[in-house]
A and B are shown apart, each in its own frame.
Chain A
Amino acid sequence: MNPYVLAILLSSLGIGTTLTFASSHWLLAWMGLEISTLAIIPLMAQQHHPRAVEATTKYFLTQATAAAMILFASTTNAWTTGEWNIQEMSNPTALVLITMALALKIGLAPVHYWLPEVLQGLNLTTGLILSTWQKLAPFALIYQISPMMNPTLVITLGLASTIIGGWGGLNQTQLRKILAYSSIAHLGWMMIVMQYSPNLAILNLILYIAMTTATFLTFKNVTSTKLSTLTLTWSKTPMMTTMAMMTLLSLGGLPPLTGFMPKWLILQELTKQNLPLTASIMALAALLSLFFYLRMCYAMTLTIAPNTNNNASTWRQKSSQTTMTLSITTTLALTLLPITPAIMALTT
C-alpha cells in the first residue's frame, strides 16, 4: 500500500482508539469508535480479493450497527436523565442497549457470528489488529460503565461466550477461525468478572493481547493459515514450533504459563463473590477451548504428519520478518506467572 495512505490509516486507527480512551462524553466516545472502524476498513480490503471484500462488508455492517445502537442508547439516556457523561449513565434501558452494542462491537456471544467469517477473510496482520487493537476502545467504555451494567446480562454474555467460543472452535481447520473462537472465549472470561473486579478484566485483556499477538506472529512467520500447513512448521523452525506450542498452551490457561494467571484470579474472584456454579461452568467451558489449542499443538509439535512440505523454499531459512515483537510477546506469554503478586499489586 502507498506509505502515505498506510500512515494516515494507521494513525487514524490509533487516534480513534485514543479518542475513545480520553473521552467522558458519549458522543466523543462514539466518534472515536467510528474513526477506528473507518480507518481499518481500507486496511482490511487492501487485498482486492472477493473474500477480503466480504470480510470488510461484514465488519462494516456489524460495527456500524453497534455504533448506531451506542448513539441511540446514549441519546436515550441523555433524553431521560440529561446526562451525557459516560460514567453517569443511569437509564436501565440505555444500559442494556449499550451493553449489547458493545458486545456486538467486540464479538461476544450471542452476537459473535461475524467474527470468524471476518477474520477468515483477512491476512494475518490485519487479523491481528482486529483481534487486539480493536478490542481496546470498546473495553474502555465497558470498564467505565461496569458498575451500572445489568448483572444478569453480563453473566449471560460471559457464560455464553465462553461456551460458544469453546464449542465453535472445535471443528475448525482454518487457523484464523480458531483464533476468532478463542477470542470469543477469552472475551467471555473478561466479561464475567467485569462487574466484580474490572481491573482483573483489564489484566485479562492485556495478557490476552500479548498471547494472541505471539500466536498471530508465529503463524505469520511460517505463513500457515490452515491446520494442515501448520503440521509443516517443524521443518521450517523447530525452535519456534516448540515456543508456539507453549504459547498455545498458555492461551489454553495451563499453569505454569502466563495464561493461567487471569483464569486463576477470575475464578478466585467469582468464588469470593459466592458464585461457585458460575465458576465451575467457566472452568469446564475452558476445557473446550483447551481441546482445540491442544489439537493445534498436537498437529504442530507433538506429531510429525506424513505430509511433505509444499512451499517453495522455507527449509530453515531466515525469515525476512522482524521477530522482535514476536520474541517479546512470546516471553510475556510464557513467563509472567511467577510475578503475579507484583502484577496484582500494580493493578488492583
Chain B
Amino acid sequence: MALVTNRLLCIKNSRAYLKASLYPLSNGAPPEQAHSQSYRRPGVPPENIPPWKRINLNFAKGVEGVKKHFGLLKKEMLGRFEGPEGRPLKEHILEQARVIWEFRGPESLAQWVASSDREIGGKSEAYMKMGRNNLTALLYGNLCTEVPRDGETRYSGYCSLRSKQLLGAFDRKKHHDWSNFNSLYLRIRGDGRPWMINIAAETYFSHQKDDMYNYFLFTRGGPYWQDVKIPFSKFFLSSRGRIQDSQHPLWLDKINTIGFTLGDKADGPFQLEIDFIAVCNDRAHTEEFAYEKYKRNPEV
C-alpha cells in the first residue's frame, strides 16, 4: 500500500516536475496565463502573443480609463497654476520632509510588487499584505537558498519588494523629484535580517538599464519600531549586482523606483513591516558623496 502511494506520489511529482521544466518561469502555468509583467529569464524564448490577441474590448473599463486619465491630465494642467509639482512655491522652499509612501489601506499595496527567486526557478516565497489595523505593510515569506537545477544558476535565495513606476496621465512615465532633500527616512520593524535598499533612477538615455544605487538596511529584531535615516550620499552605484569601480553620486531629480532586497544566504522565514517611507532634508548632513570617484587618466 505504501509502495503504491509512493509510486503515485512519484508520478505526481514527476508530472509536476515535467510541467515546471516545460514552463520554468511561470510555476507550471503556460506562458499565456502568466502575469505579463513577470520576469523573463534570458535564454527563454519570449511569449509571442500577436497584438490582436491582446485586445480586451470592455466598454465599462474603457469609460473608467477615459475618466481616470483625463482626470489626471486635468489635475496636472491645473496644478501648473499652483506652483512646481502642483504645490505653492513657499511649500517647496520650506519643505523639510515629505512622506512618499504611506501604507494606510489595501490600495497602497497596489503600488508595490513583491517578487522572489521563484522567477528563476527557486523556492523562496514572498508575500505582501496589510499589517495590523491597516496601518502598516507587512512583507513576509520564506527564503530558501536551494539552487534551481538548471545547470547554470549557482546561487539562489532572494526576495524583493519594489515600487512600481510612477505613471502620469495616459500612462506616461513620471519621475520622483527629490532634489530638495538629502536623506531617506524609513520607519520599519524588521526581524534582524540585513536588507538592501535599491534606488533606480532614470536610465533610458544612458543605456544602462541595470544601473541601481544601493545601500544596506540593518534591522533590529525587537518589537520596537526603527527609524532609519540614510543620506543619499551614501548610496553606491551597482549594475546587475556588481558594484562599479567608477562611482558617482545619485542625482535625485529623476528617481523611478525604490526597492528592498533580502539575500543574506540564511534559510528561513522573514518579515519586514514598513510604516512609511519618506525623504527628508537633514540640515546637519554636509557630505556630498561618501566614496571616491576614481579618476581615470589622472594627471601626473
Are A and B co-members of a single complex?
yes
Partner-binding segment picked from B109-117, B119-127, B247-255, B267-275: B247-255
Q: Verify A312–B179 contact, CB threshold 8 A.
A: no
The CA-CA distance from A51 to B299 in the complex, in Å, is: 25
Instruction: A171 to B91: give the CA distance in the assembly, Å.
Output: 13
Instruction: Judge if B92 is at the interface, Cβ distance under 8 Å.
Output: yes
Stretch from B33-41, B62-70, B144-152, B200-208 at the A interface: B200-208
Contacts of B253 in A (CB 8 A): 51, 120, 174
A3 — which chain B residues lie within 8 A by C-beta?
299
B299-A48 in contact (CB<8A) = no
A interface size (C-beta, 8 A): 30
Known contacts A173-B180, A174-B179, A310-B182; is-contact A48 B248 (Cβ 8 Å)? yes
Q: Which of B85, B211, B285 contacts A50 (CB 8 A)?
A: B211
Given the contacts A48-B248, A50-B211, A172 and B205 also touching, CB distance less than 8 Å: no
Complex CA distance for A65 and B84, rounded to whole angstroms:
32
Please state if B201 and A50 are interface contacts (CB–CB under 8 Å).
yes
Interface residues on B, range: 20 to 34
Q: Is the beta-carbon distance between B93 and A50 smaller than 8 angstroms? A: no
Contact B299 A2 (CB under 8 A): yes
Residue of A nearest to B295 (CB): A48
A273 contacts partner chain B, Cβ-Cβ < 8 Å: no
Contact between chains at A54 and B93 (CB < 8 Å): no
Are the C-beta atoms of B205 and A58 separated by less than 8 Å? Answer: yes
Chain B residues near A173 (CB-CB < 8 A): 84, 89, 92, 179-180
Q: Is A199 an interface residue (CB 8 A)?
A: no
A51 touches B283 (CB 8 A): no
Distance A307 CA – B182 CA, assembled complex (angstroms): 14
User: From residue A23, how far is it (CB to closest CB) to chain B in Å?
Assistant: 33
CB pair B251–A51 under 8 Å, yes or no, is yes
* B contact patch SS: loop
Residues in A neighbouring B192, C-beta threshold 8 A: none
Q: From A2, A47, A173, name the one whose CB has the most chain B CB atoms within 10 angstroms.
A: A173
Contact A53/B286 with A171-B84, A174-B253 known, Cβ cut-off 8 Å: no
For residue A311, CB closer than 8 A to chain B, the reply is: yes
Contact B254 A295 (CB under 8 A): no
User: B58 at the A/B interface (Cβ < 8 Å)?
Assistant: no
Residue of A nearest to B181 (CB): A228
| B283 touches which of A58, A171, A305, A310 (Cβ 8 Å) | A310
* Chain B residues in 8 Å Cβ range of A310: 182, 281, 283, 285-286
Interfacial chain A residues near B286, Cβ < 8 Å: 310-312
Q: Could you tell me the distance between the alpha carbons of A58 and B205 in the complex, rounded to whole angstroms?
A: 8
- Write the chain B residue with the least CB distance to A312: B286
Q: Which residues of B contact A305 (CB under 8 A)?
A: 93-94
A307 touches B201 (CB 8 A): no
- One digit per residue, 1 when the CB lies within 8 angstroms of any chain A CB and 0 when it does not, for chain B 36-61 equals 00000000000000000000000000
For chain B, residues 282 to 298, give those with C-beta under 8 angstroms from any C-beta of chain A.
283, 285-286, 293, 297
The reply to whether the CB of B246 lies closer than 8 angstroms to some CB of chain A is yes
Is B83 on the interface with A (CB-CB < 8 A)? yes
Question: Whole-angstrom distance between the alpha carbons of A57 and B207 in the complex?
Answer: 11
Q: Does A274 count as interface, using CB distance less than 8 angstroms?
A: no
| A window 246-301: CB within 8 A of B | 295, 299
- Of A2, A58, A170, A226, which one neighbours B179 at CB under 8 angstroms? A226
Residues in A with CB closer than 8 Å to B164 are none
Instruction: Name A's B-contacting residues (CB within 8 A).
Output: 2-3, 47-51, 53-54, 57-58, 120, 170-174, 226-228, 231, 295, 299, 305-308, 310-312
In order of increasing CB-CB distance, the 10 nearest A-B pairs are: A54-B205, A50-B206, A53-B206, A171-B84, A308-B283, A312-B286, A173-B84, A49-B248, A57-B205, A51-B251
Additional pairs, 4, CB under 8 Å, beyond known A173-B179, A227-B92, A308-B283: A51-B206, A51-B253, A171-B84, A310-B281
